[in-house]
Structure 1
Amino acid sequence: MTKAEIVNEIAKETGLDKVSILKTVESFMENVKSSLEKGDNVYLRGFGSFIVKQRAQKTARNISKNTTIVIPAHKIPAFKPAKTFFESVK
């Protein structure tokens, strides 16, 4: 489902105009992104959590050049669904 399809579904269910719904959805996504950039997690009860995970440093191999490279430790965004959400999809 795309962002446009989400906006259309919300507009059908609520009767609100699509422009204000689009602004709300985009504002939500920007707030989640900015929170994760700062290192803060976002918790939505009954839906899930947007969290920042720490990946450890590791070594990897470049097969084409037959060399070993070091991948430094870094952070990645992740989503962990709530138990009720996970069970309903399952």
Structure 2
Amino acid sequence: MNNKEFTSELSKRLGYTIKDTSDLMVSFMADFTQELQEGNTWAIQGFGTFEVKKKAERISINPVTKQRMLIPPKLVLTYKPSTTLKDKFK
């Protein structure tokens, strides 16, 4: 399912126009992104938890040249599904 199909299906279920649904999704994603950038955790009941974690810097070695490289720290978005969702896929 792509974004256009998802927006269309969601608009049918909510009873909104496709434009209103699209605006709602854009607003949701902007708020969602802003909260994660601020370091907050998002938990959606029955779906899971989104959290930004910091990966520490590390040293990597190229197996061919044996050259060592320093990989800088970075922020990574993580997702942990809820137990309800996990149970549906067993």
| Partner residue, 1:22 | 22
Q: Does residue 33 in structure 1 map to residue 29 in structure 2?
A: no
Q: 1:55 corresponds to which letter in structure 2? A: K
Task: Show structure 2 runs of 5+ residues with no match.
Answer: none
Specify the alignment match of 1:68 in structure 2.
68
Percent of residue pairs bearing the same amino acid type: 27
Give the gaps of 5 or more residues in structure 1: none
Q: Following the alignment from structure 2 to structure 1, what is the Cα–Cα distance between the partners of residues 45 and 13?
A: 21
Alpha-carbon distance in 1 for matches of 2:66, 2:46: 48
Q: Distance in 2 between matches of 1:86 and 1:27?
A: 28
Structure 1 SS opposite 2:34 = helix
CA–CA separation in structure 2 for the residues paired with 1:48 and 1:78 = 10
**Which string of whole-angstrom CA distances, capped at 9 and with x for unpartnered residues, describes residues 3-28 of structure 1?**
21111111222221011101111111
What's the C-alpha RMSD, in Å, of the aligned pairs? 1.6
Aligned runs of 1:3-18 on 2, under 5 Å?
3-18=3-18
TM-score, structure 1 as length reference? 0.85
**Are residues 1:80 and 2:80 paired?**
yes
Helix, strand or coil for the counterpart of 1:16?
A: coil
In the alignment of these two chains, the number of paired residues is 90
